[in-house]
């Protein structure tokens, strides 16, 4: 029996990418509303309640409204907005993050899909906090650069359409300068931190891909871990994972496009033993493991299907 899935907001970038991954998924049937019915509140409510699993690709307020329209106790929800990412009544949809995350997701009715930047940050930082190598109150910074598809259709048009009202040909720009980016609470909460990291996001002139970096003064940490110890901890944490890989190449040259077009998350640990400094790096596709790929992975777990079915490896 196939699983009926309704993607609310399926015309957006994340929704389209999810549809692409589900196209060859023989265990899933996607409920599709035509243009007229998609804007009909009654038809939308019907689809929300007919689905076995609903995936919300909506702004926060619209996502909350969609959840309120579900009148049964059967329909499961994956929310790709930020509306429920720090809500303790929702399971956090990062299967590899905690030892019991995958089990919780297989039993969950409500799952919040992680943000793209937090996915890279948490994969690097959470194991260190959990193991006691990184104190919960340690002052962290995180530098991260995304492809412009992370800004949705408007930003894609700005970069790709010279006639767009805000067209740009910039190669690289920083933003979030008020240090109040919406991803910071998610990073803080799920890393187990008591002090919010300083988040330094940027967008590059490339469609997709993401680099997330966390610098560490290893010599100043209470346990003084060396680079090898951190690399070994991450390797042990994600041992056996298909999607999260820890690369041991100390001389790798990393590019934002390296895993673009896949649903992989690749982690690296670099540093200088003499200075006691480390540089933790995560590579992912902002539309893959950072969004649509994660949603399909969560769908598979919640529906009892093969976890990586439909994903790009």
Which tokens is 135 given?
């104190």
Q: Which residue has tokens 């033993």?
A: 273
* CA gap 271, 273 in Å, rounded: 6
The DSSP string of 268-287 is: EEEEETTTTEEEEEEEE-TT
Beta strands in 175-276, from DSSP E residues, in sequence order: 198-204, 210-217, 244-246, 265-272
Cβ 17 vs Cβ 287: under 8 Å: yes
* CA-based nearest residue to 143, from 209, 222, 203, 71: 203
CA-based R_g, the chain, Å? 20
For CA atoms 100, 105, 109, 112, give the dihedral sign.
Answer: positive
What CA dihedral angle connects 298, 244, 90 and 261, to 10 degrees?
A: -50
Which tokens is 160 given?
């790709």
* CA-based nearest residue to 80, from 98, 97, 66, 96: 66
How many helical (H) and strand (E) elements, i.e. helices and strands, does the chain have? Answer: 10, 13
Which tokens is 308 given?
């990586």
Looking at the annotation, which residues are catalytic? 116
Q: Which residue has tokens 């790096």?
A: 281
Q: Are strands 141-147 and 198-204 parallel, antiparallel or unpaired?
A: parallel
User: Within 13 Å and on the Cβ side, how many CA atoms surround 163?
Assistant: 0
């Amino acid at each position: 029996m196939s699983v009926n899935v309704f993607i609310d907001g399926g015309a957006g970038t994340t929704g389209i990418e999810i549809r692409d991954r589900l196209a060859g998924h023989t265990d899933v049937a996607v409920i599709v509303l035509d243009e007229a019915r998609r804007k009909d509140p009654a038809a939308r409510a019907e689809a929300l309640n007919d689905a076995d699993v609903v995936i919300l690709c909506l702004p926060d307020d619209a996502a909350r409204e969609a959840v309120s329209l579900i009148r049964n106790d059967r329909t499961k929800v994956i929310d790709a907005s930020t509306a429920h990412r720090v809500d303790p009544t929702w399971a956090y949809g990062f299967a590899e993050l905690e030892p019991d995350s995958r089990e919780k997701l297989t039993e969950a009715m409500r799952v919040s899909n992680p943000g793209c930047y937090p996915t890279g940050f948490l994969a690097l930082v959470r194991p260190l906090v959990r193991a006691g190598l990184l104190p919960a109150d340690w002052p962290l910074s995180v530098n991260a650069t995304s492809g412009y598809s992370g800004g949705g259709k408007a930003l894609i048009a700005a970069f790709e359409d010279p006639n767009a009202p805000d067209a740009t040909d910039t190669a690289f720009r920083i933003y979030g300068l008020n240090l109040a980016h919406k991803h910071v609470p998610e990073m803080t909460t799920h890393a187990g931190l008591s002090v919010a990291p300083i988040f330094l996001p940027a967008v590059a002139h490339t469609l997709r891909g993401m680099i997330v970096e966390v610098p560490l003064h290893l010599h100043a940490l209470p346990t003084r871990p060396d680079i090898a110890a951190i690399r070994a901890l991450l390797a042990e944490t994600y041992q056996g994972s298909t999607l999260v890989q820890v690369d041991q190449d100390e001389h790798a040259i990393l590019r934002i496009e390296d895993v673009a077009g896949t649903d992989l998350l690749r982690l690296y640990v670099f540093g200088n033993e003499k200075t006691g400094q480390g540089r933790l790096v995560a590579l992912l596709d902002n539309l893959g493991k950072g969004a649509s790929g994660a949603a399909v992975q969560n769908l598979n777990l919640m529906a009892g299907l093969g976890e990586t079915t439909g994903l790009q490896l």
